[in-house]
Amino acid sequence: MSGSADGGLGPGWAMALDPPAFPPVRYDRLGSRLAVMLEAPEHDVLIVPGEAIVALEAVAREAGASGVRFLNIATSVYGRLFGEWLAAGGAAVTTLEPAVPGLPITVDEVSAALARTGAEALAFVHGEAATGIVNPLAEIVALARSRGAVTILDAVASVGAEPLRLAGQGPDIVVVGPQKALEGPAGLSAVAVDEAGWALLTRAPSAPSFSSLSLRDIRRDWLDTPRRVIPGTPYAHDLWALEAALDALEHETLPRRIARHRLASAAVRAGIDGLGLESWAVSDATASGLTTAFLLPDEVDRDLVVGLARERFGVTLAAGPAGVDPRMVRISHIGRLAGFAPALSSVAAAGASIQAAGGRADVGAASAAVTAVYAAREGTR
């Protein structure tokens, strides 16, 4: 952005540094629009002025203060963190991890753990962007409900890329973030809470209050008021950005947004198969719409492949997280990357980088496979 003639930063910087105040009536509408998007007529939706990790810790510490027995499913570092916060709040926590690190939890594992622990509440992550997997949402929630357990879902990554459908038989508490498939700002998050969720969060009088980690405060200062003063001091830029993101989502429609991510996932998985490599998620049902993880050939160096993709092709590949197969690399197809051109270029760059690192990969077959998936679904954006 160019400066002004007198050496100032120009009018654009005034907008960046001092945006218009966000009106309370539009703030109220943001909550209503999020509730519609989540198909959550029975849930209150609270906007949390902070990135999603703040909302997750707020939920965990407030729920933990209830002191109930929790089954915490940890399929990533975020699941493990959530369990630590629950325990710090006062809950009795049993942590359940998959038999193979980085894979989805199975319904049988959850069923056995619920029976063994007698858990009164259950928490888990829906979609894991770090490993490209999705946990079985509907089945886990149904199991928990059959035993009378309250369910807490971390849908920060999955919202907009995977169906949630909170109405009726959905989770009781859901944390979402707009920065991934919703293509919005990272500085805000939201929590949807139904009646059973509020009963858990307000069970103990010792839960945080007058704190940035207090959903009770947000309910007291917004939901239970005439809603004329926005609670706290959320960053106006983020509120305007969230509104714009919801405008774009409603124009595209949520079903088409989800379908676009699922299509990108299917195309990249087909491309990985064309390269002659193995996708980490064993089936489409457990594969994330956000990222696709795959395993490199044994003979190539992972850091070299990731570096070559970035330096030669301008494509970002990411190494898998610590504690999973050291050959894991993932391709992102989140938000604006969920399309034909990014999917094709990412797969081709991965293959060419593997070749340059001394491995075998069929870039031609992979490119044809990605193209074939999109050609077969011509009517889906």
Residue pLDDT, tens place only, 33-63: 999 999 888 899 999 999 999 999 999 999 9
Judge contact between 55 and 190, C-beta under 8 A.
Answer: yes
Among 229, 252, 275, identify where a domain stops: 252
Asked whether residue 102 is assigned to any structural domain, the reply reads yes
Q: Report the pLDDT averaged over residues 152-181.
A: 92
- How far apart, in whole angstroms, are the C-alpha atoms of residue 101 and residue 171? 24
pLDDT band at 164 (very low <50, low <70, confident <90, very high): confident
Instruction: Determine if residue 165 is left, alpha or beta; phi over 0 gives left, psi from -120 to 50 gives alpha, anything else beta.
Output: left
Helix (H, G, I), strand (E, B) or coil at 212: coil
Asked whether residue 132 is assigned to any structural domain, the reply reads yes
The two structure tokens encoding residue 13: 């910087």
Asked whether residue 7 is assigned to any structural domain, the reply reads no
- How far apart, in whole angstroms, are the C-alpha atoms of residue 288 and residue 291? 6
Asked whether residue 288 is assigned to any structural domain, the reply reads yes
Q: Among 98, 84, 183, 203, which Cα is nearest to 140's?
A: 98
Q: Report the pLDDT averaged over residues 19-32.
A: 95
- How far apart, in whole angstroms, are the C-alpha atoms of residue 78 and residue 56? 9
Asked whether residue 324 is assigned to any structural domain, the reply reads yes
pLDDT band at 208 (very low <50, low <70, confident <90, very high): low
Asked whether residue 354 is assigned to any structural domain, the reply reads yes
| 3 vs 237: which has the higher pLDDT | 237
Non-local CB neighbours of 321 within 8 Å, separated by 6+ positions: 76, 77, 102, 130, 131
Residue 1: pLDDT over 60 = no
pLDDT band at 377 (very low <50, low <70, confident <90, very high): confident
Helix (H, G, I), strand (E, B) or coil at 133: strand
Assess whether 196 and 90 both reside in one domain.
yes
Residue 168: pLDDT over 70 = yes
Q: How far is CA 29 from CA 75, 217, 338, in A?
A: 34, 20, 28
pLDDT band at 212 (very low <50, low <70, confident <90, very high): confident
CB atoms inside a 10 Å sphere around CB 146: 10
Assess whether 148 and 23 both reside in one domain.
yes
Among 230, 252, 274, identify where a domain stops: 252
The two structure tokens encoding residue 188: 């805000």
Angle at 140 between CA 98 and CA 65, to 5 degrees: 85
pLDDT band at 5 (very low <50, low <70, confident <90, very high): very low
Assess whether 130 and 150 both reside in one domain.
yes
Assess whether 118 and 165 both reside in one domain.
yes
What confidence tens digit (pLDDT) does each residue in 330-372 have?
999 999 999 999 999 999 999 999 999 999 999 999 999 999 9
Judge contact between 128 and 106, C-beta under 8 A.
Answer: no
Residue 10: pLDDT over 80 = no
Assess whether 242 and 294 both reside in one domain.
no
Residue 313: pLDDT over 70 = yes
Asked whether residue 1 is assigned to any structural domain, the reply reads no
Assess whether 179 and 237 both reside in one domain.
yes
Residue 292 has what pLDDT? 98
Assess whether 177 and 260 both reside in one domain.
no
Decide the pairing of beta strands 278-279 and 69-73.
Answer: unpaired
- How far apart, in whole angstroms, are the C-alpha atoms of residue 321 and residue 293? 11
Helix (H, G, I), strand (E, B) or coil at 154: strand
- How far apart, in whole angstroms, are the C-alpha atoms of residue 49 and residue 321? 28
Domain CATH number, residue 148: 3.40.640.10
Judge contact between 218 and 50, C-beta under 8 A.
Answer: no
Assess whether 180 and 44 both reside in one domain.
yes
Assess whether 181 and 242 both reside in one domain.
yes
Among 252, 272, 294, identify where a domain stops: 252
Assess whether 176 and 239 both reside in one domain.
yes
Q: How far is CA 209 from CA 39, 190, 215, 271, in A?
A: 29, 18, 8, 50
What confidence tens digit (pLDDT) does each residue in 90-132 have?
999 999 999 999 999 999 999 999 999 999 999 999 999 999 9
Assess whether 230 and 337 both reside in one domain.
no
pLDDT band at 167 (very low <50, low <70, confident <90, very high): confident
Residue 379: pLDDT over 80 = no
Domain CATH number, residue 348: 3.90.1150.10
Q: Among 328, 53, 263, which Cα is nearest to 179's?
A: 53
As for how many domains the chain has, the answer is 2
Asked whether residue 86 is assigned to any structural domain, the reply reads yes
Mean pLDDT of the chain: 93
Q: How far is CA 70 from CA 65, 93, 119, 192, 269, in A?
A: 11, 5, 5, 19, 35
Residue 139: pLDDT over 70 = yes
Residue 6: pLDDT over 50 = no
Residue 14: pLDDT over 70 = no
Assess whether 183 and 193 both reside in one domain.
yes
- How far apart, in whole angstroms, are the C-alpha atoms of residue 115 and residue 68? 16
Q: How far is CA 227 from CA 23, 80, 231, 300, in A?
A: 11, 36, 9, 58
Domain of residue 321 covers 254-376
Q: How far is CA 352 from CA 55, 359, 363, in A?
A: 40, 9, 7
